[in-house]
Amino acid sequence: MPSEKKRTAADAAPFVQELVQRREAAGLKRAPAARLAGIAQTHWNQVENGYIQHRGGRHDYPPSEEFVVKAARLFDWDLADALEKAGLDPARAPILEEHHPPRKELDVLLEEAQSLLPALRPNQLLAAVYMMRVMVNPNAVVDIAKDQVALAPRFVEPSKSAHRSRT
């Protein structure tokens, strides 16, 4: 059984070329594009550069399947086309789309979320925002109890006893 050839950054060059064109056409720099796609900025840079600096040397860095899916979703790019240009199997597109809905479906969910926000009470809105922050950056909160205490003075009206002057 012959072993499969390892993918290289050169195999993914057509994908990277189109990725850069789509990003620039959208008027995005690398960092905002990465943030919108849910990809770490360093990861995005490595894919666009085609290499990773590691242990004093450059190592080939083709995009992963997950990267291609997220980038395709961000730019409303046909997933099978993006996978093929990245040197990956375009036949996997239907399977991947089941687990990663296309951008259009996400836009519908975003519109629904925006329509629900005005109906929330202030404490519910705070909880929703807090939850989204943790979902976007799980490392942002080390100790939830401490973070809640740190956030409380900014969002919760202080009690009257806290404002009494000492005589």
3-state secondary structure 79-123: HHHHHHHCCCCHHHHHHHHHHCCCHHHHHHHHHHHHHHHHHCCHH
What pLDDT score was predicted for residue 4?
59
Q: How would residue 6 be classed by pLDDT, with cut points 50, 70 and 90?
A: confident
Mean pLDDT computed over 14-37:
92
Higher-pLDDT residue of 124, 130:
124
What pTM did the predictor assign?
0.59
3-state helix, strand, coil in the chain (%, to 5): 65, 5, 30
Higher-pLDDT residue of 155, 5:
5
Contacts of 126 (CB under 8 A, 6+ apart): 151, 155
Q: Which range, of 33-47, 62-76, 139-153, averages the lowest pLDDT?
A: 139-153
Does the domain formed by 13-101 have CATH 3.40.630.30? no
List the domain boundaries for the chain. 13-101, 109-157
